[in-house]
């Protein structure tokens, strides 16, 4: 274990070059960009699989560390900290041996770049079986340090309501399978409406991800959803941030006024 923690301090051990794309998460109620999620891409913009397929047990630590550093450095270079939005970074719980040791490089990068810790969201996907106690230790440690925490793909994996009863993250992202064709599926509408109410009662913000059509977007707005991510608003942008003007144009169907939405410049 000591070797693993020592090895992940500088992120050495994953040699495949890669980069990042950024997809906005939009607050459609306030017409603002809530956050930008950093998504791994190949060095020339290839899809995530070209990189993730090269991640194995022996380089998982290093890859996780490099992703955090690259996301923070690139977001800083794109002036994300100045636009008021947050940066959402995916992390692998099974690539964290000891939270306080493995967070050192992230903290050092944030200090070096001047990126505020409370504007960084760490989100994990519940699609792999995890040691709940280990995961809770990570989440509680990150929160104590000032980071925001999020569960991605909620409703599709292992963690679910059992984890939620033990720890309430800042954010829950509903799985896109609950969102697909929600405008035509009354069962999904009732489930999502109940989820939104539950999360609100627990003091958790809910993001509806994978929203691909204007009809889905309108249905979610009617249900009271405010934080939206998906192709209906913007696709991930390779090595850049999607501008607020572009988002205003895409959301015009909902009555947004061009130029009103606050957020990052293109």
Please tell me the CATH code under which domain 2-254 is placed.
Answer: 3.20.20.450
Tens-digit pLDDT profile for residues 47-89 = 999 999 999 988 989 999 999 999 999 999 999 977 789 999 9
Output the pLDDT for position 2: 37
Output the pLDDT for position 243: 74
Output the pLDDT for position 18: 97
Nearest to 122 by CA among 155, 145, 98: 145
**Domains of the chain by residue range:** 2-254
For every residue of the chain, DSSP letters joined together read -HHHHHHTSS-TT--S-EEEEEEEEEETTTTEEEEEEEEEEETTS--THHHHTT--TTTHHHHHHHHHHHHHHHHHHTTGGGGT-EEEEE--GGG-SSHHHHTHHHHHHHHHHT--GGGEEEEEE--S---HHHHHHHHHHHHHHT-EEEEEEETSSSSHHHHHHH---SEEEE-HHHHTTGGG-HHHHHHHHHHHHHHHHTT-EEEEE---SHHHHHHHHHHT--EEESTTT---EETSPPPHHHHHHHTGGGTPPTTT-BS---
In the residue annotation, 209 being an active-site residue is answered as yes
**Token pair of 201 as six digits:** 């009662």
Query: Measured between alpha carbons, how far is 158 from 162 in angstroms, rounded to an integer?
Result: 9
**Token pair of 10 as six digits:** 């500088």
What are the 10-residue block averages of pLDDT along the chain, 266 residues in total? 47 85 94 94 96 91 93 95 87 84 92 95 75 88 94 74 90 94 97 96 97 96 96 95 70 46 40
What is the model's pTM?
Answer: 0.88
Output the pLDDT for position 3: 39
Output the pLDDT for position 96: 84
Nearest to 229 by CA among 106, 85, 93: 85
Output the pLDDT for position 98: 87
Q: Find the catalytic residue in 37, 123, 209, 216.
A: 209
- CB-based contact 110:89 (threshold 8 Å): no
Burial class, 205, CB count within 10 angstroms (exposed 0-12 / middle 13-18 / buried 19+): middle
Query: Measured between alpha carbons, how far is 117 from 114 in angstroms, rounded to an integer?
Result: 9
């Amino acid at each position: 274990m000591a070797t693993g923690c020592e090895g992940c301090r500088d992120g050495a051990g994953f040699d495949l070059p890669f980069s990042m794309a950024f997809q906005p998460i939009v607050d459609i109620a306030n017409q603002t960009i809530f956050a930008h999620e950093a998504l791994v891409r190949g060095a020339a913009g290839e899809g995530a699989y070209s990189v993730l397929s090269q991640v194995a047990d022996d380089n998982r630590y290093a890859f996780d560390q490099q992703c955090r550093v690259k996301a923070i450095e690139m977001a800083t270079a794109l002036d994300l900290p100045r636009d008021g939005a947050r940066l959402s970074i995916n992390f692998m719980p099974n690539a964290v041996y000891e939270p306080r040791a493995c967070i050192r490089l992230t903290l050092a990068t944030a200090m070096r770049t001047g990126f505020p810790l409370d504007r960084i969201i760490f989100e994990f996907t519940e699609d792999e079986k995890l040691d709940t106690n280990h995961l809770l230790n990570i989440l509680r440690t990150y929160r104590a340090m000032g980071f925001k925490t999020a569960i991605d793909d909620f409703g599709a994996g292992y963690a679910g309501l059992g984890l939620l009863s033990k720890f309430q993250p800042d954010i829950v992202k509903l799985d896109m399978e609950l969102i697909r064709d929600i405008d035509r599926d009354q069962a999904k509408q009732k489930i999502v409406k109940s989820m939104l109410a539950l999360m609100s009662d627990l003091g958790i913000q809910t993001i509806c991800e994978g929203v691909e059509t204007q009809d889905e977007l309108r249905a979610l707005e009617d249900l009271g959803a405010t934080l939206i991510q998906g192709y209906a608003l913007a696709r991930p942008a390779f090595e850049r941030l999607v501008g607020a003007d572009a988002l205003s144009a895409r959301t015009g169907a909902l009555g947004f006024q061009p130029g009103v939405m606050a957020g990052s410049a293109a």
